[in-house]
């Protein structure tokens, strides 16, 4: 019963097969191979427009490189106060941007809202040399708290950013879960709503280590390739990152697998909702459940073999915990967990 994170799980068999197919013979290195080109084409189909796409091997690299490409050292990046880029990347965006400022904004359920974004922006005067200059808005989809922005919500936030001359980045480490949840087109959830660049995650949903930075406007990619190289993220045998993405995108498997994870999270949430003393903290839009558990229950679940993270210190006899489901989480684990929770 591992609910620690979706990255605790492994790799799809289809991806392993793709790696094996890609393994023999010489091909051009550093991304000049046919598979890498095909991934860009496939992503163009997914998003219903031509894109510039660059495979990388970690979500932190995807985020930091995408943001740095769009944000000067004297820029400011606006994001939710609990965004992964703000709290879980050990300052990678600051390193890659050479010292830009991340401005964390509070918002319920992990989501930014227009009014607070406007307020935050009002403290950064345009052209005032003492203030970092607003350069990027970064939204996480699905959010760190398991919720999902609607296209309308994204549109409203992106419009504010664009009005201020900023670019809009989406941290899509769990983009598959978000899109499976929304049921809209990939286009509607991204560029049509104002997203300029997307960290398209595949690792958490079953790749080995593969993400793509997807620019929806070629001009925005600017010096991305040099930044990727200089950061040690241009890998020589790129075909093996691309092979993962290629298999990942085939036949909409990525959405089906994400839908499985979402469905299990929903089951988990529904189950917990009927347990005495348990309170869900956020809507379960994607593949993560946040719940306040009585400390005695949490202890009992762990003793029963469940693994999950506390999402803060205990408070008044209960603790907020996070439970993440993945493409490979067995439904039996969810059923067993819920049964165990209800068993007293």
Q: Does 217 bind a second copy (CB under 8 A)?
A: no
* Smallest gap from residue 10 Cβ to a second copy (A): 4
Count of positions on this chain that bind a second copy (CB under 8 A): 80
- With CB under 8 A as the contact rule, which of the stretches 20-28, 140-148, 164-172, 174-182 interacts with a second copy? 20-28
Question: Mask: binding to a second copy, 313-342, rule CB under 8 A, as x and -?
Answer: x--------------x--------------
- With CB under 8 A as the contact rule, which of the stretches 140-148, 151-159, 187-195, 231-239 interacts with a second copy? 231-239
Residue 191 or 224: the one with the smaller Cβ distance to a second copy is 224
Residue 101 or 282: the one with the smaller Cβ distance to a second copy is 101
- With CB under 8 A as the contact rule, which of the stretches 63-71, 108-116, 150-158, 287-295 interacts with a second copy? 63-71
Residue 132 or 194: the one with the smaller Cβ distance to a second copy is 132
Nearest one of 167, 181, 246, 191 to 49, comparing CA atoms: 191
* Smallest gap from residue 202 Cβ to a second copy (A): 11
Handedness of CA 213, 217, 219, 220 (dihedral sign): negative
Exactly one of 219, 236, 251, 332 binds a second copy (CB under 8 A); that residue is: 236
Q: Does 35 bind a second copy (CB under 8 A)?
A: no
Q: Does 172 bind a second copy (CB under 8 A)?
A: no
As a whole number of angstroms, the distance between CA 201 and CA 327 comes to 13
* Smallest gap from residue 343 Cβ to a second copy (A): 23
**Beta strands 52-56; 101-105: pairing state:** unpaired
Exactly one of 34, 91, 114, 305 binds a second copy (CB under 8 A); that residue is: 91
The CA distances from residue 187 to 1, 124, 151, 182, 286, in Å, are 35, 31, 10, 12, 19
Residue 80 or 239: the one with the smaller Cβ distance to a second copy is 239
Q: At what angle do helices 239-249 and 34-47 cross, to 10 degrees?
A: 30
Exactly one of 113, 231, 281, 336 binds a second copy (CB under 8 A); that residue is: 231
Q: Does 200 bind a second copy (CB under 8 A)?
A: no
Beta bridge partners of 54: 213
* Smallest gap from residue 221 Cβ to a second copy (A): 13
Residue 18 or 158: the one with the smaller Cβ distance to a second copy is 18
Exactly one of 45, 126, 230, 342 binds a second copy (CB under 8 A); that residue is: 230
329: left (phi over 0), alpha (psi -120 to 50) or beta: beta
Name the H helices within the chain. 13-22, 34-47, 59-70, 84-87, 92-96, 114-122, 151-163, 175-182, 224-230, 239-249, 253-273, 295-303, 331-342
Q: What residues numbered 107-166 form the site for a second copy, per CB under 8 A?
A: 122-123, 129-133
Residue 117's contacts (CB-CB under 8 Å, 6 or more residues apart) are 78, 105, 137, 157, 160, 161
The CA distances from residue 156 to 160, 163, 178, 265, 306, in Å, are 7, 11, 18, 28, 40
Q: Which two tokens stand for residue 160?
A: 């504010």
Q: What residues numbered 240-259 form the site for a second copy, per CB under 8 A?
A: 240-241
């Amino acid at each position: 019963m591992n609910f620690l994170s979706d990255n605790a799980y492994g790799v799809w068999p289809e991806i392993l097969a793709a790696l094996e197919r890609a393994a023999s013979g010489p091909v051009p290195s550093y991304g000049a191979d046919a598979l890498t080109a095909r991934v860009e084409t496939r992503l163009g189909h997914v998003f219903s427009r031509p894109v510039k796409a660059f495979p990388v091997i970690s979500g932190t690299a995807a985020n930091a490189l995408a943001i740095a490409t769009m944000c000067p050292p004297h820029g400011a990046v606006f994001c939710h106060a609990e965004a992964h880029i703000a709290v879980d990347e050990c300052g990678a965006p600051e390193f890659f941007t050479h010292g830009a400022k991340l401005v964390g904004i509070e918002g319920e359920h992990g989501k930014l809202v227009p009014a607070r974004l406007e307020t935050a922006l009002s403290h950064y005067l345009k052209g005032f040399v003492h203030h970092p200059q607003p350069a990027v808005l970064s939204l996480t989809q699905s959010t760190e708290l398991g919720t999902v922005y609607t296209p309308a919500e994204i549109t409203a936030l992106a419009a504010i950013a664009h009005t201020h001359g900023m670019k809009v980045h989406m941290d899509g480490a769990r983009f598959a879960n978000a899109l499976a949840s929304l049921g809209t087109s990939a286009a509607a959830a991204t560029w049509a709503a104002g997203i300029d660049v997307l960290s398209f995650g595949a690792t958490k949903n079953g790749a080995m280590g593969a993400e793509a930075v997807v620019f929806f406007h070629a001009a925005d990619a600017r010096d991305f390739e040099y930044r990727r190289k200089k950061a040690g993220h241009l890998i020589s045998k790129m075909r093996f990152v691309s092979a993962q993405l290629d298999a990942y995108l085939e036949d909409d498997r990525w959405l089906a697998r994400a839908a499985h994870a979402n469905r299990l999270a929903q089951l988990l949430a529904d189950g917990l909702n009927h347990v005495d003393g348990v309170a869900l903290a956020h809507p379960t839009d994607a593949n993560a459940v946040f719940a306040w558990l009585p400390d005695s229950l949490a202890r009992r679940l762990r003793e029963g073999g469940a693994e999950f993270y506390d999402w803060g210190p205990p408070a008044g006899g209960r603790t907020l915990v996070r439970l993440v489901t993945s493409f490979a989480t067995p439904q039996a684990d969810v059923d067993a967990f819920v049964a165990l929770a209800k068993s007293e």
